[in-house]
Structure 1
């Protein structure tokens, strides 16, 4: 007998339960993460100090990241992830600001009122 609460089914159900706003936020976040469009990408000093080749590996890993789960992406927005590069644990986090950059965005699903910033950091930078 198959367990109806399997992890895969929960992921599918969670995706199916996403609101239109969540789906829009996810698409905008993926556009920034994968294509570098629709926001700014900031590297911490730790990541910047890795050297050209390792930074390229970090960026490639962040772009291709697809291990989103309920544990690391509870709202289904694809706004956080963690990858291993050599011996370094690297995290990315996407935050939503108003256009002044001083306050939270009033509507992260609206690119006209939201400035997205993806910070890429070594886990020990956090």
Structure 2
């Protein structure tokens, strides 16, 4: 489910799975805040140092967050992920058991 830009202060494209949408709105906003604050990356989660994947625990539940880089039409991979003129970033958040 693509979340509205205003939910929990999200400022970009966020896709959330059913396991993320089931908790209460307050818990969901707490999870989104924890995802925004995620700044710990380890070699298992981030072998190339791109910081586009991360794992975290929130209220005793494990979650993944993954950022993908699409073209402006959101159909294909971006031709230049580093250039926002050609790229739309989409973050997916899911419970680890949904992978």
Q: Normalized against structure 2, the TM-score is what?
A: 0.82
Greater Cα radius of gyration, structure 1 or 2: 1
CA distance in 1, matches of 2:22, 2:28: 8
Gaps of 5+ in 2: 1-8
Partner of residue 52, structure 2: 79
Kindly tell me the number of residue pairs found equivalent between the two proteins. Answer: 91
C-alpha distance in structure 2 between counterparts of 1:122 and 1:82, whole Å = 9
Partner of 2:18: 45
Q: Deviations over 1:65-114 (max 9, x none)?
A: 11112221122221111111122111100001111111111110011101
2:21 counterpart of 1:62 = no
In the alignment, what sits opposite 1:10?
Answer: none
TM-score, length of structure 1 as denominator length: 0.66
**Runs of 4+ residues deviating >4 angstroms:** none
Extract unaligned runs of 5+ from structure 1: 1-34
Deviations 1:29-56 (A, max 9, x none): xxxxxx844x411111210111112112
C-alpha contact 1:58 1:90 (8 A) present in aligned 2: no
CA RMSD in angstroms comes to 1.5
- Within 1, Cα distance between the matches of 2:43 and 2:95? 22
Cα distance in 1, alignment partners of residues 97 and 44 from structure 2: 20
The residue aligned with 1:91 is 64
- Which protein is richer in helix relative to its size? 1
